[in-house]
Structure 1
Amino acid sequence: MGKQEDHRSKDGEVAVEGGPVMDWQLEPGVASKLYDVFTVAGLRVDAIEPGRALICSFTVPTRLTDGSKRMHGGALASLVDLVGSAVFFAGGSPTTGVSLEITISYLNAARANEEIEIDARVLGIGETTGCVTVEVRKKGTGEVIAHGRHTKYLAVSSKL
C-alpha cells in the first residue's frame, strides 16, 4: 500500500470525494467507539413504547453512501444492530446482550439526504435470550428498505 496524502483544508476538515468529512479529535480510549459514532451521528429517537418498541429517524449522510449515493448495506446493518440492541431496554431487559444471530433482507435503497425511519420491536424476551425485529422505511412514503431480525443472548452473568 502506498502512503496516503493528507488533504486538510485551512479549517482542519479532510477533503474526500463528495466533500469534507469531520476531523476526528479523539481522547485516549475513545477510538473503539468511533465506528458507532460515525454510523449513528444524527440518529433521533422519536418514540419509545415501554415493554416493546423503539422508533427512530435518521437522515442518510453522504458519508454512509456508496458511489451511486445509496446507503451502504454495512451502514444499514449497523443501524439494525444498534437500534435492535437498544430496544431490549424498552422490553425490560437489564442488558443488550451479545448477538447470536442477525439477519437482514435488503428490499430497497435509501439515498443520501433521504430521511428514514427505524422501527424496532420486541418479539420476545426469555430468561437467557431475546429476539427483536427491525424495519427500516423511507419516512416520506413508508416504503420498506430493509427488514431485520436480531437474536441475542441476554444472561446477565455468564462464563462465556
Structure 2
Amino acid sequence: MMKLESVKRYLEKGGSEDDKNGSTIDGKPLRFFERFIMQGLRIDFIEPGRIICSFNIPPRLLNAGNFLHGGATATLVDLVGSAVIYTLGAPMTGVSVEINVSYLDAAYADEEVEIEAKALRVGKAVGVVSVELRKKATGKIIAQGRHTKYLAAHNCCNFRP
C-alpha cells in the first residue's frame, strides 16, 4: 500500500517522475488538453448526426499497463460526442450532464481505432449521443459511451436541429 505522502507526490507530479508518457502543463497553450488527446484524429465520414473517425493510438495516451488510458478514452467520448452535436447546426454544445463509458477491450500503441459518434437526440435543452471505439482491423469493440449535454444556451440562439 502506498503511503499518503507518496500518493500526494504521484498526483502532484502527474505520474511517476520517470514516466516516459508524462508531460508538464506549465506554459502550455489554452485547450492544450483537447489537442493532447485528439492530435492525429482523422475524420473518415461526416454527416448530420454522425461522425466516423480513425486514430492510431499514440504512446502518450498509454496507461501504466501500456494500453489506451481509460481517461483518454472517456475524453474521446466527450470530445467526439460533443462534435457530433455540431453537425446538427449547434453553435456550441453546453456542458456535460452525464458521461458513461463501458470499457470492453484494450487498445495498444500504434493500433488503429475507429470512433463512431451518433446523435441519439438533440432537443432544445438536452443532447444525447453514443460513441463507440472499435479496433479498425477486427471491428472488436474497445469501449462504448453515452454522453448527455445540457444545451439550454441554444435557446438564446434559436437553435433547431
State the TM-score, normalized to the length of structure 2. 0.78
Shift of 1:69: 1.4
Q: Which of 137, 142, 147 is residue 144 of structure 2 equivalent to?
A: 147
Q: Does 1:120 align with 2:117?
A: yes
Partners in 2 of 1:57 and 1:43 — Cα distance? 6
Q: 1:107: which partner in 2?
A: 104
Q: Which of 46, 49, 74 is residue 47 of structure 2 equivalent to?
A: 49
Q: % of aligned pairs identical?
A: 49
Partners in 2 of 1:102 and 1:137 — Cα distance? 18
Partners in 2 of 1:63 and 1:129 — Cα distance? 33
Q: How does 1:5-20 map to 2 (within 5 A)?
A: 17-18=19-20
Cα 1:118–1:157 change in 2 (3 A) is closer
Q: Name structure 2 gaps, 5 residues minimum.
A: 1-8, 156-161
Q: Does 1:34 align with 2:32?
A: yes
Q: Does 1:71 align with 2:76?
A: no
Q: Which of 95, 99, 112 is residue 98 of structure 1 equivalent to?
A: 95
The one-letter code of the counterpart of 1:85 is S
State the TM-score, normalized to the length of structure 1. 0.78
Q: 1:10: which partner in 2?
A: none
Tell me the C-alpha RMSD between the 2 structures. 2.5
**CA contact 1:18–1:62 (8 Å) conserved in 2:** no
Q: Judging by fraction of residues, say which structure has more helix.
A: 2
Partners in 2 of 1:24 and 1:73 — Cα distance? 20
Runs of 4+ in 1 over 6 A off after TM superposition: 21-25
